[in-house]
Amino acid sequence: METREKESIKLRFALALFRRLQHNKQLAGPTGPRQKQRSETVDSYQKLERASGIPKATLIGVFQGKINAASTTLFAIAEALDGGMTALGSELDSITDEDLAAYKEALRHSQKARIEKKKKGTPGRGRKARPTK
């Protein structure tokens, strides 16, 4: 298998998992059917970490298509997202090449924004602003 194919597969899984997480966010949102059960719905990386037992850094790497996750890791994530492998498989099957290109571009844009933010010294979550001289 070529490197390009492997990258495409990792990205396809990343997008499918991202869509499942977004689906959960919609369900738990202010107008979603699970709004009263929001604390129980896995709709963030932190909740996914607790529900799956997979470190947040690993989850982010998988969701960005950077990590070639083991099948056990993918299974644990899929189960924690309340749909299992069946829902994940359906999501995988629905992804088009255009979807992959758009997701890849969104990831690239997000990465550029993080780099720019770091260069400017803009404080992130929980960080204090650096004093200027």
Greater model confidence, 74 or 131: 74
Number of domains in the chain: 1
In tens, the pLDDT along 7-22 reads: 999 999 999 999 999 9
User: Does residue 114 lie within any of the structural domains?
Assistant: yes
Buried b (16+ CB within 10 A) or exposed e, 34-63: eeeeeeebbbeeebbbebbebeeeebebbb
User: Does residue 56 lie within any of the structural domains?
Assistant: yes
Full residue range of the structural domain in which residue 76 is found: 3-119
Q: Report the largest interatomic distance among the alpha carbons of the chain, rounded to a whole angstrom.
A: 56
User: Does residue 21 lie within any of the structural domains?
Assistant: yes
User: Does residue 132 lie within any of the structural domains?
Assistant: no
User: Does residue 97 lie within any of the structural domains?
Assistant: yes
Task: Output the average pLDDT for the chain.
Answer: 87
In tens, the pLDDT along 82-106 reads: 889 999 999 999 999 999 999 999 9
Greater model confidence, 89 or 128: 89
User: Does residue 128 lie within any of the structural domains?
Assistant: no
Q: What is the pTM of this model?
A: 0.79
User: Does residue 130 lie within any of the structural domains?
Assistant: no
What are 31's two structure tokens?
A: 């107008």
User: Does residue 126 lie within any of the structural domains?
Assistant: no
